[in-house]
Copies of this chain bind each other. A is one copy, B any other.
Amino acid sequence: MNKSKSKRLRILVSNDDGIDSAGIFALVREMKKLGDVTVVAPHKQQSAVGHAITMNYPLRVSKFNKNGKFFGYAVEGTPADCVKLAVRSLLPLPPDLVVSGINHGSNTAINIIYSGTVSAATEGTVLGIPSIAVSLTSYKSQDFLFAAKFARKLSTLVLKKGLPKATLLNVNVPAVPEHQIKGIKITRQGKTNWNDTFDTRLDPYKNTYYWLTGELEILDHSEDTDQIAVMKKYVSVTPIHYDLTDYTLLETLSSWGVEKVR
């Protein structure tokens, strides 16, 4: 007997662009073809919040309608807050899958560590639920259909195969018409730097303020990296985890005499 016939899949969708964004709307429409979708997402844009969680303030939740119908729960918190609150409190049963996105803009290379989209999926993984983060590599494009379809199909595969306990998939989809997509690549996290600069400005009261700006510098041009794969119009699928241990240095450190520091 097929298990999926006996129960409906439960899917939790979140994001970091806020519950009112076009990307999450497209994702939800596709994911509904797989099962019951609950949306729990930030009430407003939360980009670059990293894996922030709210401990010193309470979280508030409100019901959010879209086109006159209930769409999901809007949380005054971060993407990680949304997933934690959904799984631990709002949902009657834990979901079978967490999908975060579709982000407006890529989450590749160094940007993964700043990404709210990835942090929502990471939180799903932390909670023991197979999780996927999905981003479209454009801040401007509103055409999320191909990315949403890919998210749905990859979800089916993930639900069939399972994911290792502390690993999630980070997906980046090139913002090009579907017929220009060259294929799908399994990638590693690319090596890049931000050449950050801060605009130093004066406010109307002559007080200085600083505004972050900068350009991404690619340090590794291999096609098996997320960054280059999407530039070459491939969908990029990167398995990432949150065991941050650098096992290579672990072995070296002892020879330094770290244990003998007095």
Contacts and interface: CB of A to CB of B under 8 A. Distances in A.
A48 interface: yes
A3 B246 CA distance: 29
A180 interface: no
A56 to B, nearest CB: 7
A150 B48 contact: no
Interface residues of A, number: 81
B110 A59 contact: no
A contact patch SS? mixed
Nearest to A75: B210
B246 A164 contact: yes
A35 interface: no
A67 to B, nearest CB: 26
A223 B125 CA distance: 25
Given A209-B60, A243-B189, A244-B112, A50 B48 contact: no
Nearest to A76: B209
B244 A201 contact: no
Interface stretch (A6-14, A25-33, A92-100, A233-241): A233-241
Interface in A134-178: 150, 153-154, 157, 161, 163-164, 166-167
A169 B1 CA distance: 51
B200 A89 contact: yes
Instruction: Return the 3 tightest CB-CB contacts between A and B, nearest first.
Output: A50-B51, A50-B50, A239-B249
